Structure 1
Amino acid sequence: MNRVNFEKWFKTQLIPNLPPKSLIIMDNASYHSGLCEQIPTKSWTKSKLIQWLKDKNYDFPERAMKDQIWDLVASKYLPKKTYHLDEYVKSFGHKILRLPPYHCQYNAIEMAWSECKRKYDLQIQKSKGTAEEVLATWNIVINQISPDHWKNYVNHVNKTIKDAWEAMKKFDCSDIEPIIITDNNSDSDNSDSDIDWSEDESLDY
């Protein structure tokens, strides 16, 4: 999957089939997170930072070192990230909720995907693995995920979020420095979705 293919599916398949004022929950895979404009990072070269400042008509000392230029950008000019799809859905009355990085346990679809993969692995062993059989097998296993499955997944996620919130309230986090995670990966799927949910006894399939 890459950003071009995902956004094409998102706009032509997902959005037209959503009810009004839907909340779309997504993880932080890079192809979900295309920015409206490129945001400077510390890894940019000095010349690239200078060009960005000039394009924005921002003042900066011409003879400054790269570290000084970056400090200026980070402290004064760094814009807030705006995501292309977040802006796109506004005209349809929808909103996107982005999950924290590396917290797939808060996403019910991860359990559905895990269940589909287990069912697929069992079914595909009975075939020769041709392209037609692969597609047919996926169609079969996806359709085996029932509304009752989804209800259990959502209930489980709600409980997981509630338990995490209650646990966090027991800690004094006032002295903890914020953790900044920089994702410099490509458009591949970067979500940590390979947890084996079959070991979770609280799910009733």
Structure 2
Amino acid sequence: MNRKNFENWFKTQLVPNLPPKSFIIMDNASYHSGLLEEIPRKSWTNQRLTEWLKKKNIGFPEKAMKDKIWSIARRNCPSEKKYFLNEYVKPLGHKNLRLPPYHCQFNAIEMVWSECKRKYDQYISNFKGSPSEVLTTWERVISEISIDHWQEYVFHTEKVIEKAWEAIQVCDAYDILPLVITTDEDDDDEDNISDFSSDSDNTGEID
């Protein structure tokens, strides 16, 4: 999978089959996260940075070194990323929700996908695994995932999200007092460490 293939599937197969005002939940896979417009990075070559500045009609010294060019580009970078697919669905009345990184448990499709793979492994063992058999088996598997299954997975995911939200509220940083450690000249930690070290050297072991 890559960005080109995913965006083609998204535009030609997913979106045309969505009900009005659908809510599309996606993780942060790189091919989900193509930007509407690339944001300059320090790793870009000097030529690429200057081309971006020219495209934006942003002035810069013609013979400036890369550090100077990068500092100008960085000051003029957009403050917020705009994802291509987010912007694509807006005029169509849909909305994308991007999950936090490494939180796949917040997406019901993970359980659907797991069920699909289990069924596929079960059915494909009866065939030789030719391309046509693979495709036919996947079509069979997908057709067997019912609306009721989906709904159960969605309910389960909602409960997972609710529990996570409750845990976050309990651990709200505003309610946690800071831990302050003070030291002074009379602190005898060094003496204690010295005593511990000499005891360890004498006995040859640490209890």
TM-score tier after normalising by the smaller chain length: 0.7 to 0.9
Residues 66 and 164 of structure 1: CA distance in aligned 2, closer, same or farther (over 3 Å):
farther
Residues 173 and 63 of structure 1: CA distance in aligned 2, closer, same or farther (over 3 Å):
farther
Aligned to 2:123: 123
Q: Does 1:78 align with 2:77?
A: yes
- Quote how far apart the aligned CAs of 1:60 are: 4.1
- Quote how far apart the aligned CAs of 1:77 are: 1.1
Under a length normalisation based on structure 1, what TM-score does the superposition of the two structures give? Answer: 0.75
Structure with greater helix percent: 2
- Quote how far apart the aligned CAs of 1:109 are: 0.6
Per-residue CA deviation, residues 78-110 of structure 1 (Å, 9 max, x unaligned), is 112212222221221111111122211111111
- Quote how far apart the aligned CAs of 1:54 are: 2.6
Under a length normalisation based on structure 2, what TM-score does the superposition of the two structures give? Answer: 0.75
1:62-77 to 2 correspondence within 5 Å?
65-74=65-74, 76-77=75-76
Partners of 1:67 and 1:159 lie apart in 2 by 49
Q: Does 1:57 align with 2:77?
A: no
Q: Secondary structure at the match of 2:96?
A: strand
- Quote how far apart the aligned CAs of 1:39 are: 1.1
Q: Which amino acid aligns with 2:102?
A: Y
Partners of 2:127 and 2:34 lie apart in 1 by 38
User: Identity of aligned pairs, percent?
Assistant: 64
Per-residue CA deviation, residues 134-174 of structure 1 (Å, 9 max, x unaligned), is 11111121122122211221111111111111111222446
Partners of 2:92 and 2:106 lie apart in 1 by 25
* Higher RCO (C-alpha under 8 Å, 6+ residues apart): 1
Partners of 1:169 and 1:78 lie apart in 2 by 34
Partners of 2:46 and 2:76 lie apart in 1 by 15
Aligned to 2:136: 136
Q: Cα RMSD over matched residues?
A: 2.2
Moved more, 112-121 or 52-61: 52-61
Q: Which amino acid aligns with 1:77?
A: N
Q: Secondary structure at the match of 1:136?
A: helix
Gaps of 5+ in 1: 176-205
Aligned to 2:153: 153
Partners of 1:150 and 1:111 lie apart in 2 by 9
Q: Secondary structure at the match of 1:91?
A: helix
- Quote how far apart the aligned CAs of 1:111 are: 0.8
Query: Which runs of at least 4 in structure 1 moved beyond 6 Å after TM superposition?
Result: none
Aligned to 1:189: none
Q: Which amino acid aligns with 1:18?
A: L
Q: Secondary structure at the match of 1:169?
A: helix
Per-residue CA deviation, residues 168-203 of structure 1 (Å, 9 max, x unaligned), is 12224469xxxxxxxxxxxxxxxxxxxxxxxxxxxx
1:1-205 to 2 correspondence within 5 Å?
1-60=1-60, 65-74=65-74, 76-79=75-78, 80-173=80-173
Gaps of 5+ in 2: 177-207
